[in-house]
Amino acid sequence: MEENSNNSFYYSLSDMKNLKTAFRDAIIENRRVRNEKMFFPTHLYIHNVGKNSGSGKIGSKPDILNNTMEPGGGALVAKPVNLLCPSDKEKKVLAIDLGGSFLKLCVYKLRNDEIVSHTRLKKYKILKDGSLSNTSMFDWVASKTHDFLMCEIREKVIDSEKSNITLCRLIDEDFMNNLTAGMTISYPIQHCALNSGYIREIGKDFPFKGIDIQKEELVECTTKAFKRYNINIQIKVLLNDTTATLASAVRSDNVFYVGIVLGTGTNIAFNDRVLYENQVINTEIASFDSDHLRKNIYDMKIREDILSSNKIYKPLDCMLGGYQLVKLFNIAIKDQFDRENYTLDDIVHLLDLPPGNSNYTEEFYVILSIKKRTMRILASMVFGILEAQEVNSRIKIVLNGTVFEQDYDRRIFIDEIRRLCADSSSYKYKNFTFESICDATLRGIARILLQID
C-alpha cells in the first residue's frame, strides 16, 4: 500500500508536526477569543497550598478566594479545591463513573493518606440494543446505584455475626445516608460550578431516552432520581471522566499534567497555566477537525454514514476510539482484501498472534496501521498542548480507558511521544513520565471528594 494514499492509515512525521501545529493554534485562538466551544474550564485547580494557610488560596487574585460555587460579577467563581493537600478526615465517598460502555461504582476511603477501596468495584454494561431508549439516564444510574448499595449491605450482613435487622439499620444510617458522591460522565460538560453542569452535546449513539441538554442540569436530575429510589446522597463534584483521570495522579504543582482517555471515545485534559490560573481544562478533542487531520476514504465513508443517519459526527471519536473501530477495520479489509465480518474479538485475537503468522498477515497489518495512526495523532495533540502552554517543566501523562488497559497500546503511544521528542529541541523524553492507574476515573473523583469539605 502506498504511503499517504487515500486508502492508507499511515501518518508520517511531517503529518504529525502539521497536526501538532494545527491543534496548538486552535488552543491559542481559543485563548485569544476565550471561546469555550472545545476547551471547557472545570472549576478544578492544581495549586500547592500550604496545609496551615487556612485561606484556601489558589492564586494571588482576590476574586478566586471566594468560597462559593455561584456566578459572580458576570464570571463564574470557582471554589478552590487543592489537590495537593491530603485530607485528615475519616470519611467514605461514592465514586460514580458513567462511561460510554459501562457504569462503574465504588466506595473509597482514606487510609494512611492513601485512597483505598471500601467496597468492590461494580460494573454495569450500558446496552446499545435499543432496550434503554425509553429509560431515563438519571433513573438508570439511580437504579444501578441502589442495587450496588443494597448488594453491599447484603454482603456485609452475610459476613456478620450480628442480626440482620440490627446490621441493616446500622449500615443504613452510618453507611448510606452519610455518603457524599462525585460523578463523572464521558460527555462534554458546560460547568456552572464544580458540582453543577449541563451536557453540551450528545454523541456516541446515546442509548437512553433523550435529554433536554439546555434544561436538565446533571446533578439536580441525578439527585432527584436518587430520591425516587430512597437514596439520600449528596453529589458534591461533577466532572468529565478525563478530568478525573488527570486528578488521580496529581502529586506536585511543579509538574504539567495531561490526562488522556481512550476507550469508546477519546479525550484529553490538562492544567492550563496561561489563561485559567492552573485550572484543569477539559478539551473535547473528539470534535476537533482540521485540514491537517488527514482522513482516508474509510474515514470519509464512516462520516457519510453517520451524517446520513442524522447523528453527530465527531472526527476523533470515529478515527481513534472504539466507537467505530470494528467498522473502520472491516471497511478497509473489504476494500483491500475482499474480506469482512470481523468482530472485536477477532481483532483482539489478531493482536495476540505471534509475529509472522502467515494466516493473518494482511489483517494484522491493517489493525496495526490503525493503532499506530491513533497513537501518532494523540501524541501530536499532546505536543500541541505543550507548545501552546509553553511548558518547560516535567510532564506527566496519565493514561486511562479500555484501549490503554493494554500494554501493547501503551507501548505504541510512548514510542510516538519518544519519536516527537527526538525531533524537538524543546522537549526531552527524559522529562516525561507515564502513569496508568487502575480505575483512574473513579480514584480521581474519590481523591477530589476526600479533599473538600
In a domain, 152, yes or no: yes
Do residue 412 and residue 430 come from a single domain? yes
Please determine, for residue 165, whether its predicted confidence score (pLDDT) is greater than 80: no
> C-alpha grid cell for residue 381?
495533540
Of the pLDDT bands very low, low, confident and very high (cuts 50, 70, 90), residue 4 is low
In a domain, 98, yes or no: yes
**Between 175 and 438, residue with greater pLDDT:** 438
pLDDT for 74 equals 24
> C-alpha grid cell for residue 395?
510532564
In a domain, 261, yes or no: yes
Of the pLDDT bands very low, low, confident and very high (cuts 50, 70, 90), residue 47 is low
**For residue 131, how many other CB atoms are within 10 A of its CB?**
9
How large is the average pLDDT for residues 58-79?
29
Do residue 208 and residue 295 come from a single domain? no
pLDDT for 59 equals 25
**Between 15 and 212, residue with greater pLDDT:** 15
pLDDT for 338 equals 92
CATH number, domain with residue 140: 3.30.420.40
Share of the chain above pLDDT 70, in %: 79
pLDDT for 359 equals 66
In a domain, 55, yes or no: no
In a domain, 412, yes or no: yes
Do residue 312 and residue 403 come from a single domain? yes
3-class SS letters over the chain = CCCCCCCCCCCCHHHHHHHHHHHHHHHHHHHHHCCCCCEEEEEEECCCCCCCCCCCCCCCCHHHCCCCCCEECCEECCCCCECCCCCCCCCEEEEEEECCCEEEEEEEEEECCEEEECCCCEEEECCCCCCCCCCCHHHHHHHHHHHHHHHHHHHHHHHCCCCHHHHHHHHHHHHHCCCEEEEEECCCEEEEECCEEEECCCCCCCCCCCCCCCCCCHHHHHHHHHHHCCCCCEEEEEEEHHHHHHHCCCCCCCEEEEEEEECCCEEEEEEECCCCCCEEEEECHHHCCCCCCCCCHHHHHHHHHHHHCCCCCCHHHHHHCCCCHHHHHHHHHHHHHCCCCCCHHHHHHHHHCCCCCHHHHHHHHHHHHHHHHHHHHHHHHHHHHHHHHCCCCEEEEEEECCCCCCHHHHHHHHHHHHHHHHCCCCCCHHHEEEECCCCHHHHHHHHHHCCCC
Of the pLDDT bands very low, low, confident and very high (cuts 50, 70, 90), residue 22 is very high
Do residue 310 and residue 239 come from a single domain? no
Please determine, for residue 79, whether its predicted confidence score (pLDDT) is greater than 90: no
pLDDT for 68 equals 26
pLDDT for 322 equals 86
Beta strands 234-240; 180-185: pairing state: parallel
Do residue 322 and residue 359 come from a single domain? yes
Do residue 244 and residue 344 come from a single domain? no
Do residue 181 and residue 261 come from a single domain? no
> C-alpha grid cell for residue 421?
521528542
CATH number, domain with residue 391: 3.40.367.20
Do residue 325 and residue 408 come from a single domain? yes
In a domain, 12, yes or no: yes
CA distance 104 to 99: 8
Please determine, for residue 217, whether its predicted confidence score (pLDDT) is greater than 90: yes
Mean pLDDT score across all residues of the chain? 81
> C-alpha grid cell for residue 378?
494523540
**For residue 83, how many other CB atoms are within 10 A of its CB?**
25
How large is the average pLDDT for residues 185-206?
82
In a domain, 76, yes or no: no
Please determine, for residue 417, whether its predicted confidence score (pLDDT) is greater than 90: yes
**Between 306 and 155, residue with greater pLDDT:** 306
Number of structural domains in the chain:
2
Instruction: Mean pLDDT check: name the lowest of 118-127, 135-144, 198-207, 258-267.
Output: 198-207
204: Cβ–Cβ under 8 A, 6 or more apart, which residues?
A: 100, 186, 264, 265, 314, 317, 321, 323
Q: Which residues pair with 396 in a beta bridge?
A: 257, 433
Please determine, for residue 387, whether its predicted confidence score (pLDDT) is greater than 80: yes
Do residue 318 and residue 183 come from a single domain? no
In a domain, 285, yes or no: yes
pLDDT for 355 equals 64
Please determine, for residue 335, whether its predicted confidence score (pLDDT) is greater than 70: yes
Q: At what angle do helices 325-337 and 361-389 cross, to 10 degrees?
A: 130
**Is residue 168 a contact partner of residue 220, using CB atoms and an 8 Å limit?**
no
Rg (CA), the chain: 23
pLDDT for 33 equals 64
Do residue 96 and residue 243 come from a single domain? yes
Instruction: Mean pLDDT check: name the lowest of 103-107, 197-201, 328-332.
Output: 197-201
How large is the average pLDDT for residues 100-116?
84
**Is residue 27 a contact partner of residue 272, using CB atoms and an 8 Å limit?**
no
Q: Residue 96: which domain range?
A: 90-251+442-451
Do residue 169 and residue 284 come from a single domain? no
At CA 221, angle to CA 208 and CA 231, rounded to 5?
100
**pTM to 2 decimal places:** 0.83
Do residue 293 and residue 388 come from a single domain? yes
pLDDT for 395 equals 96
Please determine, for residue 333, whether its predicted confidence score (pLDDT) is greater than 90: yes
